[in-house]
Structure 1
């Protein structure tokens, strides 16, 4: 049974007549538990009785565990919650850059929603990152509940207060998040047959950056074959490999969050839906076929020397100058002359091209069962169980994408890409490293 004991204060090494009260109770393992600091005997005894009642009810939380700091428990949680390397790096980045400066030394029991909500509104980062910080903190505190360090997670189910005005942050409009087919073709033409084909493939298949960079030639132009109309439906596909289908790039971390160097490696896609076969329209199949014939490397969209692209290098060297434009440079010793490029679509990214594919699918009325499958998205709801793609749906989608391509070519007055008749690459020895000049008019094509 709980009881209270006096605790005399000590000053200059001598016991004084002043005292407080300490609650004493029996822990689940039979040992004596204590909690000091109560002003009266009654409050100490009542607190101890409340602990014993919670123990009998099976809902007791050890007060010493509640006082563990958030930083200490977060490190423990990170060790027992393994994720893909990129996810681990992102979590440590959120913890070390944003969360720990405020909460590392805060006892778990002292964390409350009012303080967390006020803190996240003042973070010097974008709103999405602030949301990720709160979400990660909530996940860790849920782990503390599961580990019997807290009775409840004070952040669970709460809605963040959003900053009402954002100054100095320019956001893309809906029109800037997808790319007109004419712009896709202009980007592809400007970047040449190798890199330009990567741009074109992303826009017309929805491959993510890591999926495109990891694409092996053995997974291109495979054939989908299904019974249909008393015969067979066949179409070429790109297969996202379930074992090594994504190139990931992140900062390696040890168990305590220390950086161990940059990691660039192939991994499985981040979820099962992303390992998929993507049906490709006829024009793209033909371009890929000719690309594979003269591309000497095993990976379809690697660097000209055969190594994997780093995303930042690919963007800086290719996408930014092609989309934003560049100045002409005269010939100097050790460097050839360089033509200037006018802007095509400033700010365009490879992510925008992935958005573009799903936008095209919606434009041509691709059925949801097929649209979700081809984009690699998990379809919510019961319809995901009962509806499935059919060959007729697949053919309708391929016809629609082919029509988008052909109409855009007509709008530009082009018959070919990269100046090659009927989409064919002219026989050429060696690698395709120097893209030809952009052909922009029907007269130039005829010439």
Structure 2
């Protein structure tokens, strides 16, 4: 006996072609027929079964089921609007369908990019030439097993999710009877599910945030990375939100998150709303607001050529790989010699205007550091780049090692031992001139790990979950969260707690050495002098 099966916005007719063989009623072109009511779909299915039984008595069954009459389709009900015509032809391949599917999407640029990468790199090579309707659950299982042999389980889960979305849309269009990528509940192994989870995110503490930020500034030769690292570690801002931070949204006691800059695979930085529309105001401690205000005053941001807007943090050099460019910068020479940048510049351009004692210090510093005039990177870029920042600034600061990059193997960051915590040696034979290297602070720590660190610090202080979610841009839809509210006292205690944590880390850093080659940190350390 046939029946009507409800789908999204319509019913389809399901009938038995033979014992154990269940079919869906289609029209002459092979498309699933849609009905406005369950009764109409069931009647059409029963009519089709009657046709099959009658044909079985007189002649072999037809190759395609005969479409019912208009009266049978509507079952006596008022005629419904004809279903929208589909441009999918019978026998269409997965590749043909997914190309049309992708062209019709209107999603965020980051989501479109991810879908395109998943489809082109992992789905089309496996299913592109297969007929859409011929792909089975076994085919999907075999593909997943093959992918897991070469890639991380969490990545394969992500690609499987994209495949599920594609098939689900095909089912909704009536092109498939069922989703072959759907996971059946209660099937498969339950043991070992935890092995599919990625490793736990590495976090650090307040002192780790400070030390990593200082090292990044030493590697870059400027204060931008010091202020940026502390801002990320003490606000929990996402990477794109930090890169897209504009001076207009930096207020005396808060940072307003209105935009982010998302970096696409082609290197383009897309200005878009924050993730999940997490617009919010992040409360800022007085000391952090002062550091950000000093950063803005120091760099005097200029409009970038890509968006025409001013941003708080500048990129490093003119290209993504500028952080590894050979050549010591003049600021490194000035710090090593204990003079101002202007004095170091005068030694090069107007040596007669510099006293012999200081000129000698600068010349010795140039020789020791291997300074070559004109070898340093040019003007700062308009924005940080994820790969350059994480690979050549953040990772060496957190681990003490530069990553492997052909033709060079992974290697320790070469340092000149004095003054503490060491001056990165650059230029020719930097490794041979090195006197020391950094010990790891938090191996495996990433820029996003500072966001996790910020939440860990707040949890350690007993911050209410509602306030933590607001600060991080998360949304908790539970009943408990609906009945929780943030008070001014909660905000005040959080600011006081984060300030206490910061001051304790600053005192711990001062106990290691009372001075720093990073100007912004050196001023803070001097202010902590009893």
Work out whether the TM-score is over 0.5. yes
Contact 2:153–2:197 (CA under 8 A) maintained in structure 1: no
Among 336, 350, 369, which residue is 2:466 paired with?
A: 369
Among 131, 134, 145, which residue is 2:157 paired with?
A: 131
User: When you count strand as a share of all residues, which structure comes out higher?
Assistant: 1
Contact 2:256–2:282 (CA under 8 A) maintained in structure 1: yes
The answer to whether structure 1 residue 184 and structure 2 residue 216 are counterparts is no
Structure 2 unaligned spans of 5+: 1-24, 35-54, 218-222, 302-309, 317-379, 401-412, 416-423
Q: What are the within-5 Å matches in structure 2 for residues 33-112 of structure 1?
A: 44-45=61-62, 48=65, 65=89, 67-112=91-136
Aligned to 1:257: none
The answer to whether structure 1 residue 342 and structure 2 residue 439 are counterparts is yes
Shift of 1:335: 8.6
**Do the aligned partners of residues 368 and 73 (structure 1) sit closer, same or farther apart at CA in structure 2, a change above 3 Å counting?**
same
Shift of 1:24: 11
Q: Secondary structure at the match of 2:61?
A: helix
Tell me, in whole angstroms, the C-alpha distance in 2 between the residues paired with 1:413 and 1:157. Answer: 56
Q: Secondary structure at the match of 1:48?
A: coil
Q: Secondary structure at the match of 1:248?
A: strand
Aligned to 1:149: 175
- Deviations along 1:332-384, one digit per CA (max 9) or x if unpaired, are 67999777433322222101111111112222122122111110111122344
Aligned to 2:255: 238
Q: Secondary structure at the match of 2:267?
A: strand
Tell me, in whole angstroms, the C-alpha distance in 2 between the residues paired with 1:320 and 1:83. Answer: 32
Contact 2:205–2:457 (CA under 8 A) maintained in structure 1: no
Q: Relative CO higher for 1 or 2, CA cutoff 8 Å, sep ≥ 6?
A: 1
RMSD, aligned α-carbons: 4.2
Shift of 1:291: 2.3
Aligned to 1:266: 271
Contact 1:240–1:277 (CA under 8 A) maintained in structure 2: yes
The answer to whether structure 1 residue 327 and structure 2 residue 414 are counterparts is yes
Shift of 1:118: 2.8
Range with bigger deviation, 299-308 or 138-147 = 299-308
Contact 2:249–2:255 (CA under 8 A) maintained in structure 1: yes
The answer to whether structure 1 residue 353 and structure 2 residue 450 are counterparts is yes
Report how many residues are paired.
Answer: 372
Tell me, in whole angstroms, the C-alpha distance in 2 between the residues paired with 1:417 and 1:117. Answer: 60
Contact 1:25–1:49 (CA under 8 A) maintained in structure 2: yes
Among 386, 389, 409, which residue is 1:311 paired with?
A: 386
Q: Secondary structure at the match of 1:347?
A: coil
Q: Secondary structure at the match of 2:274?
A: coil
- Deviations along 1:305-325, one digit per CA (max 9) or x if unpaired, are 251111101122211221121
Q: What are the within-5 Å matches in structure 2 for residues 168-179 of structure 1?
A: 172=199, 174=200, 177-179=202-204
The answer to whether structure 1 residue 289 and structure 2 residue 293 are counterparts is yes
Normalising by structure 1, we get a TM-score of 0.71
Shift of 1:422: 10
Tell me, in whole angstroms, the C-alpha distance in 2 between the residues paired with 1:422 and 1:144. Answer: 57
Aligned to 2:263: 249
Contact 1:239–1:276 (CA under 8 A) maintained in structure 2: yes
Structure 1 unaligned spans of 5+: 1-22, 30-37, 223-235, 252-260, 427-438
